[in-house]
C-alpha cells in the first residue's frame, strides 16, 4: 500500500471501469453548461435518486453549485467525440453536438443511451469536488450499448466481443499491437507492428501483454483497433490456410534503453503514397484518428471491410 499521492491515486481510481456521462444545466443567463463525468452513480429507487460529482476546477462550477436542476446523459458506444468535446473543448460545446432541452431547460444529447432529468435534493462539499444528489423527475433509456471508460481510455464492450470472436478453425490467428509512446509508435527493427501468433485459448490482449512483458515493456493494453482476414497469407500446407489478424491499441509510459523496438513518429504515417499494404493502411488511419482521439474499429478483410464508429452496431 502507498500513501495517497494525488497522481498515483488518480491512476488507481482510474482502474474502476465506468460508463461516461455528460452532465448539463442551464445557467441563470439562459446559457447551457455541461461537462463530461464518470462520477455518476445511481443511489436509490424509492425515492429515485442519483449523484454526480462536479469538480471545483470546472468553469461551470458556480452553475452546478447553485442550480435547482441538471440532466445526466449516459453516452452510447461511438460517442467518444461527444465525450471529448464536453471534457476539453473551450468553445461553444453545444454547437458541436445535437441536443434538445428537457422540461427544465437542461440539454439532452442526441444519440445517448439514457438520460435523467433531475431536481437537486442535496449538495455535499467533498474536498475538491461537490457531491450533487438529484431526484429523477423524468428519464429515458434505449438498448444502445453504453460507452465504457477505464484507465484513461474508452472502450466499447460489444465491439470488443465481436472482434474477439474466434477465427475459423482453418485459419492461423495473429495478434499485433499499435504501441504508442508519447508521439511515437514502436515498431520492430524491420518496420513491422509487434506481433504474436495466437493459440486457440489465449486472447490477443493477453498474448500480446505477455509478449511485451517478455521484452521488458509494461504496456497498458487498449481496445481492439482492426480485425481482418488475409486468406492469401500464412502456410500453404498443413491444416490451416490464411491468417486472422487482431490489432490492438496500447500505450506505454516508459521505454527502457535496451528496448528491441524502435520509435517512429505517429505523424510520419499520416501521409505518403497510398500503398495497399494492410499495415500501412492501418497506421495511416491510426495517425489521422490520433489527431482527434476518435478511433474507429475496422472489421473486414484485406480487400474490403467497414470502419465502425459513432453508434454503429
Ligand X SMILES: Cc1cc2nc3c(=O)[nH]c(=O)nc-3n(C[C@H](O)[C@H](O)[C@H](O)COP(=O)(O)O)c2cc1C
- Site residues for ligand X per CB under 6 A: 20, 35-39, 53-55, 58-60, 83, 86-87, 149
47 upstream amide cis, omega within 30 of 0: yes
Q: How far is the CB of 103 from ligand X (least distance, A)?
A: 24
Count of other CB atoms within 10 angstroms of residue 238: 8
Residue 19 CB, shortest distance to ligand X, in Å, is 9
Least spacing, CB of residue 69 vs ligand X, in Å: 18
Taking the least distance from each CB to ligand X, the nearer of 22 and 261 is 22
Cite the beta strand spans of the chain per DSSP E: 18-19, 21-26, 32-37, 41-44, 49-52, 69-74, 99-101, 107-109, 114-126, 129-141, 148-150, 153-155, 172-181, 184-187, 195-198, 220-230, 243-251, 262-265, 297-301, 305-308
Q: How far is the CB of 228 from ligand X (least distance, A)?
A: 29
Is residue 211 within 8 Å of 176, Cβ to Cβ? no
d(CA 88, CA 217): 30
Which residue, 16 or 267, is less far from ligand X as judged by CB? 16
- Indicate the residue among 58 and 186 with the shorter CB distance to ligand X: 58
Kindly list the distances between the CA atom of residue 305 and the CA atoms of 83, 227, 244, 295, 298, in Å, as whole numbers in the listed order.
27, 9, 14, 16, 7
Cell matching residue 282: 492501418
- Which residue number, 152 or 166, has a Cβ lying nearer to ligand X? 152
Question: Nearer to ligand X by C-beta: 153 or 175?
Answer: 153
Residue 33 vs 212, nearer CB to ligand X: 33
| Rounded distance between C-alpha atoms, residue 105 and residue 121, angstroms | 18
CB of 276 to ligand X, least distance (A): 37
Task: Decide: helix, strand or coil at residue 63.
Answer: helix
- Give the residue with the Cβ less far from ligand X, 270 or 289: 289
Q: What residue has cell string 480487400?
A: 303
Q: How many CB atoms lie within 10 A of CB 213?
A: 11
CB of 56 to ligand X, least distance (A): 8
As measured in angstroms, the least distance from the Cβ of 115 to ligand X is: 17
Amino acid at each position: 500500500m502507498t500513501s495517497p499521492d494525488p497522481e498515483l491515486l488518480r491512476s488507481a481510481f482510474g482502474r474502476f471501469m465506468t460508463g461516461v456521462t455528460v452532465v448539463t444545466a442551464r445557467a441563470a443567463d439562459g446559457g447551457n453548461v455541461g461537462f463530461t463525468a464518470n462520477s455518476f452513480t445511481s443511489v436509490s429507487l424509492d425515492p429515485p435518486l442519483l449523484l454526480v460529482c462536479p469538480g471545483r476546477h470546472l468553469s461551470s462550477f458556480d452553475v452546478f453549485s447553485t442550480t435547482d436542476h441538471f440532466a445526466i446523459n449516459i453516452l452510447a458506444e461511438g460517442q467518444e467525440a461527444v465525450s471529448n468535446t464536453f471534457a476539453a473543448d473551450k468553445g461553444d460545446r453545444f454547437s458541436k453536438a445535437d441536443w434538445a432541452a428537457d422540461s427544465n431547460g437542461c440539454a439532452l444529447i442526441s444519440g445517448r443511451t439514457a438520460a435523467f432529468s433531475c431536481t437537486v435534493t442535496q449538495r455535499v462539499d467533498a474536498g475538491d469536488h461537490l457531491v450533487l444528489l438529484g431526484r429523477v423527475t423524468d428519464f429515458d433509456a434505449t438498448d444502445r450499448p453504453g460507452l465504457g471508460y477505464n484507465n484513461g481510455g474508452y472502450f466499447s464492450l460489444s465491439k470488443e466481443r465481436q472482434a474477439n470472436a474466434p477465427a475459423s478453425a482453418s485459419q492461423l490467428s495473429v495478434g499485433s499491437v499499435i504501441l504508442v509512446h508519447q508521439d511515437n509508435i514502436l515498431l520492430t527493427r524491420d518496420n513491422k507492428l509487434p506481433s504474436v501468433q495466437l493459440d486457440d485459448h489465449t486472447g490477443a490482449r493477453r498474448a500480446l501483454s505477455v509478449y511485451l512483458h517478455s521484452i521488458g515493456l509494461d504496456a497498458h493494453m487498449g481496445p481492439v483497433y482492426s480485425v481482418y482476414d488475409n486468406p492469401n497469407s500464412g502456410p500453404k500446407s498443413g491444416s490451416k490456410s490464411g491468417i486472422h489478424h487482431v490489432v490492438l491499441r496500447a500505450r506505454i509510459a516508459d521505454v527502457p534503453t535496451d528496448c528491441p523496438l524502435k520509435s517512429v513518429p505517429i505523424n510520419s504515417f499520416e501521409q505518403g503514397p497510398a500503398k495497399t499494404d494492410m499495415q500501412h493502411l492501418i497506421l495511416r488511419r491510426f495517425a489521422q484518428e490520433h489527431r482527434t482521439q476518435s478511433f474507429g474499429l475496422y472489421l473486414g478483410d484485406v480487400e474490403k471491410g467497414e470502419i465502425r464508429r459513432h453508434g454503429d452496431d
